[in-house]
Chain A
Amino acid sequence: MSTEQPAGALLSVENLSVQFPTHDGVVHAVDGISYTVDRAASIGIVGESGSGKTVAALTLLGLTVTQGAIVTGQILFDGRDLLTISKAELRHIRGNEIAMIFQDPLSSLHPQFRVGAQIVEAMRIHRSITRAAARTRAIELLELVGIPDPRRRVDQYPHEFSGGMRQRAMIAMSLSNEPKLLIADEPTTALDVTVQAQILALLERLRHELGMAMIMITHDLGVVAQIADRINVMYAGRIVESAEARPLFSSPQHPYTWGLLRSIPTLDGPRGVELLPIPGRPPSMIRRPTGCFFHPRCAYALPSHSTIDPPLSDVGLEGGGDHRAACLLDAAQRQAAWAALKGGGTPEQARVAAGIEQDVVPVAEAEIVG
């Protein structure tokens, strides 16, 4: 396979699949996803538990190998395929050109090493720098991320920091080698909303200052609306929709995305209106549905959707940039359905509006609840 990437592309993921053999069968955590991250761009990956978003991110850095993952596909980073380079080269990239921050900063920092020492270690792995110089740099980094009194804090232990400060410290550590790409896996989920706002603003500022690309993984559509230029929606190990932020929210093209948007309460919508949950629950990653993965929970599915598996393809909208969805409905049907939903209609009404045959009841509604 070629290691050519389009100009401007920093990371190109091609047909990445990650499987885990288990006693109960093979878990298809990630099933052939492809996407690109340009230099200094900000990508959001949205999904719920079981969508494969975290496994996909960990696999970029080769962190799923220890759990027995079987990985196929290509991960092109700056001209190198991360899946075929040597372990030593991959280690050279981790924490250096690609850095990662995780969800729970309390458990992600070693409780028995001082915060400053952990940041210093991150630097000394990748370059020859004296302990003293690294310590000075660590203090600078702590200040950069907005931790007050950094000279004192640098010698403290993680449990002496508050939740927000810990995440800032993790960010400081990840930036210590000026990475080209930062992967953030649910970095604000465990934090209070005002702290979350601070951390997101910090990430955005640093991203612009350092010209760094970022992949933000989250389940929170509000967070990606804020911070991502481009959004990939993942479901059951696949990308089901991929678009720039504005088109994704103004004209989403996949019933799962519709479901997500219509099931979250908002600060400004009319109160007292029933939320529209997506019926059923995410499928087993071992025995996945036939045909379109989403069809058992989809209010707009036709009988044929249980046999045909839609690829992620262009939705053919005018002026929407690169907008793709993995859906078997045609553009007109989708447009009509979303218009109905956006106006406050129920899925049944939307189905009628889209002209989809009426006698199809999703399997999920009948029995399974989440």
Chain B
Amino acid sequence: MSPGDTLVEVRDLVKHFPISKGIIIKHKVGSVRAVDGVSFEVKAGETLGIVGETGCGKSTTARLITRLLEVTSGEVLFEGRDITKLKGPDLKAIRREMQMIFQDPYSSLNPRKTVGAIIADPFVIHGLETGPGERKKRVQELMDRVGLNPEHYNRYPHEFSGGQRQRIGVARALALKPKLIIADEPVSALDVSIQAQILNLLRELQREFGLTMIFIAHDLAVVRHMCDRVAVMYLGKVVEMAPSDALYSQPRHRYTGALLSAVPVADPELATRERHLLGGDVPSPANPPSGCRFHPRCSHAGPICSTQEPALTEMGQGTVAACHFPIADDEVGDLLPVARGRERL
């Protein structure tokens, strides 16, 4: 696999969680359509960001790729091979190639295990590094690489700070030298000054180990910093996918525009009191709107939007977006305070 080849591809990924009702016998009355037809690919060596708000399905997608959840339908192709039906030793072998880093450093580490044991777990599970003292050596190398003191091998998670715990999670994910790392909101629970440390660490490690990364976050600025390409999800579907430069300077989908417009900018000059606020709440994934799922909240929705669901269409600059009335070039200035600021300069 060389850089540029597709490492992971998902095709028409669907995950529905059934809702049952009934007094005596429960029958299925509907489903929560958490992921409802998602397709994208990730090339070796690149970082794909997935952004979206609550209920968009980004975390579910991550878990479907790593088979922590089973798909309702669709395919997940890893190095060209569909992994959704793998079982037993085949599945275990695939697990070595893809690892996850989780959001909450306080609950994703077993409080009863020492740090050394936590990081060594992958070796234990896959029967690797069995030579005398080899495991400990490898674990301490990893600890050092992520910025932890290797002498703290025998300490317990509660003796570490949030940022350090997240480093433990990173070390554990790297232990097996996976090809793909999926980071699900890895810095959301951390303080601002620690976030930068962890983000820098992830970028260094990606370069050093040639990792491919899927980076899931709700913080658009963080995603912009870390990712080459970004997919925006809303109510179980990808509504826009573009290289970072394009997405942040020329968003096409109205929801992307609303997201970018909502981000509070650390500059009082640009902070305006007249942004285009998105009204209402996200509809329930059990009952998504007809046609384009975003149309009830969209300021530019037309009649077609409630009847026909738009497909992902090329919009130039490598962007694809599913929108009947995408944002035009000259509308961006209005929408994004940063763009407005740039114009002023």
Contact = CB atoms under 8 A, between A and B. Distances in A.
Contact of A48 (B193, B218, B226): B193
B197 interface: yes
Given A225-B271, A271-B225, A271-B245, A370 B192 contact: no
Contacts of A8: none
Nearest to B280: A148
A55 B153 CA distance: 34
B306 interface: no
B259 to A, nearest CB: 6
A121 interface: no
Nearest to A259: B193
Interface residues of B, number: 55
Interface string A252-275: 000000011101111110010011
B224 A265 contact: yes
Contact of A164 (B261, B265, B281): B281
B25 interface: no
A49 B275 CA distance: 30
Interface string B230-258: 00000000000000110010000000001
A246 B194 contact: no
A369 interface: yes
A163 interface: yes
Given A193-B262, A263-B195, A369-B147, A226 B224 contact: no
Nearest to A256: B193
B269 to A, nearest CB: 7
Contact of B164 (A165, A275, A282, A370): A370
Contacts of B279: 198
Given A196-B264, A204-B273, A369-B163, A264 B192 contact: yes
A369 B149 CA distance: 9
Interface string B134-167: 0000000000000111000000000001011001
B266 interface: yes
A200 interface: yes
Contacts of B219: 193
B30 interface: no
A260 B264 contact: no
A222 B163 contact: no
Contacts of B245: 271
Given A192-B53, A194-B258, A219-B191, A369 B266 contact: no
A220 interface: yes
Interface in A205-227: 219-223, 225-226
A7 to B, nearest CB: 26
B267 interface: yes
A271 B245 CA distance: 8
Nearest to A245: B268
B93 interface: no
B338 A263 contact: no
A162 B192 contact: no
Given A226-B264, A271-B224, A201 B194 contact: no
The 6 closest A-B pairs by CB, nearest first: A222-B264, A277-B196, A265-B225, A197-B262, A192-B53, A263-B196
9 contacts: A194-B258, A197-B261, A198-B277, A225-B267, A261-B266, A263-B196, A267-B338, A271-B245, A277-B200
Given A201-B275, A267-B265, 11 more contacts: A193-B263, A198-B277, A201-B273, A263-B192, A266-B265, A274-B203, A275-B196, A277-B200, A278-B196, A369-B167, A370-B193
